[in-house]
Amino acid sequence: MYPDLEGKVAIVTGAGRRKGLGEAIARKLAADGVRLLIHDLGRTQGALAPEHGIGAVDELEAVAEDLRAIHPDIATFAADMRVEEEVKALVAHAVERFGRLDILINNAGVGYLFGPLVDATQEMWDTVLNVNLRGAFFATKYAVRQMLTQPVQEGWGRGRIVSIGSRGSKSGSALTSSYIASKHGLVGLTRSAAIELGPEQITVNAVCPNHVTTGLGAWQNEYMAKARGQSVEEYLAAMRSRIPLGRTGTPDDTASACAFLCSGQAQFITGEAMNVSGGEEMH
């Protein structure tokens, strides 16, 4: 769909789970000929990083093998986005493997430490903010350092940064205070970086989907339905009723927006937080 992406190199963080947003984004980019380094945490860490929330190494490798049926140049790397040296190593591995870096997709995030604000612990708050926001900062920092060493490509620019926000980047909701704060912060980071990096021909944007029923999304459905005293179907029906297009989002909806923002067709778009919500969010 976007022939100017052929041969580009991208990192997609948080892409180690089948049927997740990261996997869908990686699949879309691979179909356009992008060489990929896909990332995930790679190991569970108790209640703060449970099995339903992260991609373990074996699943990360399985996703990579699936993607190699689309494009042969797929590499993997496990890293904790909260640790600067591990994120630095992630970017270095992409450059060592492919010789350059053109695109960073900041997708890694924690979307499962929910609960009442008065019951939240500092450890929960720090985990969400440090993965969702600090991790995106680290990845952006080191990706941009590499991009600045590379020449501007005519009709495309020097680099693309796309961060996965949320409807929660624009609006609040109960039981998700740390998540909402992190996603609002991600848009602030996007806008500031876009201003700073525009003169270098590096665009920085965010994609803000509403709810997507991935594997983690299914867990979120069950949690929120129970909190509201509803069945999962009642919860989803109420959600659909708020969406003008009448359905919840799919991973491919978000992936398509990312591919567009990475393409040459989006070379004059930066600092945006693009809603992909079927009309549920309009600002």
Residues assigned a catalytic role: 179
Token readout for 261 is 């923002």
Q: Do the beta carbons of residue 167 and residue 253 sit within 8 Å?
A: no
Helices then strands, each counted (H, E), the chain: 9, 7
Q: Which residues contact 79 (CB under 8 A, 6 or more apart)?
A: 39, 41, 42, 86, 87, 89, 90
- Other CB atoms within 10 A of residue 229 CB: 8
Q: Which residues share a beta bridge with 38?
A: 12, 76
What tokens were used for 115? 């609960």
Token pair 């997708």 is at which residue?
A: 107
The identity of residue 232, as a single letter, is: V
